[in-house]
Amino acid sequence: MTVRVVIGAQWGDEGKGKIVDLLSREAGMVIRFQGGANAGHTLEFDDKKVVLHLIPSGIFQGDSLCVIGNGVVIDPLSLLEEIETVKQLGADPAGRLYISSAAHVILPYHKLLDQIKEKHRGDRAIGTTGRGIGPAYVSKLSRTGIRMGDLGKGELLRERVLQNVEDINKALEHIYGEEPINGEEMLSALLAAEKTLRPYITDTVSMAHHALDRGESVLLEGAQGSLLDVDHGTYPYVTSSSPTAGGACTGSGIPPMAITHVMGISKAYSTRVGHGPYPTELKDETGELLRKHGGEFGATTGRPRRCGWLDLVALRYAARVNGFNEIALTKLDVLDHFDTIQVCTHYQIDGEEIDEFPNDVEMLERVVPVYRSFSGWGTTCRNCSTFADLPKEAREYIAFLEEQVGVPFRIVSTGPNRSETIVRFP
């Protein structure tokens, strides 16, 4: 039995969906443990391309149970659309998809508050997707949230929603100068969604423990990335949850002692969406080439991603925080197009060399990356089926990364399709 956590090792968008899809063949259960519909996991298979936002990436592979855990915040209307998309692509979620009754609900007022607050920040905007994720987690922590299990509670649901709307309307009118929202219309949409979602809602923590008792392998799927963690990321330019390994336990109900593997997912270079410090960002032709060849546009928003060379200071930090004992390297094929490849090994700040990732964004904005250069390989990696098939320069590049991070790179992705994957498990 294995319990493997799959974690983004950078600022998200590392290709976690493909890796979870690949690993789910051997899993009895796949659990998404945090985040919301602000995350997009892109899968490509059988000449199809699909972006999942809430449903675990194992839904198209094998017959594993796919669980949306208690740590996720759920937009019911978005989830209904996603269920229909999955059905149209030939996967039947009936009997396979389960939603935690303890997962919190994103309501229209969360989205509105998200967008209004971001607008009022002006130049200090964080760069959120406007999907209501942060305000939904605020409701959760302030104990005014609505949970998925509450959707079937009739009058109690009505009372809670209307009380929240009354409080929020006061803020909208008197603080932000916005029009009030209609609580009754919101309730009607919620009740209609609940009728369709009712068969999927259950106690998923008990489900997970029964799977462990049966000796089944479990995959815990994170969204976003370690450097966006609300505690350990580049605060305040972070997400509103914990996409690190610790969040996997609280967001799924699986205890730490059950976890056997923590796999970090890292691109062969780096990207970031939204605002915040990014030491290796390339605002030149090289950055544009990375964006072009990597197709670096947000799966959820379509926003162009900021691109740069791989940052080993940040990757070592993520390995420490999460306790990675294996790493999957994705998008190696994007580097096929470069004669010279650079990797940041250290930082300099005020003339002093450091190899620790600063937890202060003002300090991080001042660091200067120190690079090591590698020769490119000038040929495609996409036809390579084993590690030995890779060009010598690509193997040397990966060996250097392994040495620097101190963690074995067990999977190398050489393209977006399932077949374009080199697995190096012992």
User: What residues are annotated to the active site?
Assistant: 13, 41
Beta bridge partners of 412: 329, 422
DSSP-assigned letters across all residues of 133-197: HHHHHHHHHTT---BGGGGG-THHHHHHHHHHHHHHHHHHHHTS------HHHHHHHHHHHHHHH
Q: Is the peptide bond before 236 cis (omega within 30 degrees of 0)?
A: yes
DSSP-assigned letters across all residues of 67-124: EE-TTBEE-HHHHHHHHHHHHHTT---TTTEEEETTSEEP-HHHHHHHHHHHHHHGGG
> Do the beta carbons of residue 76 and residue 39 sit within 8 Å?
no
Q: How far apart are CA 143 and CA 22, in angstroms?
A: 38
Question: DSSP secondary-structure letter at 392?
Answer: H
Give me 113's structure tokens: 């508050």
Q: How far apart are CA 26 and CA 354, in angstroms?
A: 41
Strands 97-100 and 65-68: parallel
3-class secondary structure, 291:
helix
Helix axes 108-121, 155-174, angle to 10 degrees: 20
Q: How far apart are CA 143 and CA 152, in angstroms?
A: 19
Give the CB-side neighbour count of residue 131, counting CA atoms within 13 A: 22
> Do the beta carbons of residue 283 and residue 25 sit within 8 Å?
no
Contacts of 139 (CB under 8 A, 6+ apart): 104, 110, 145, 146, 164
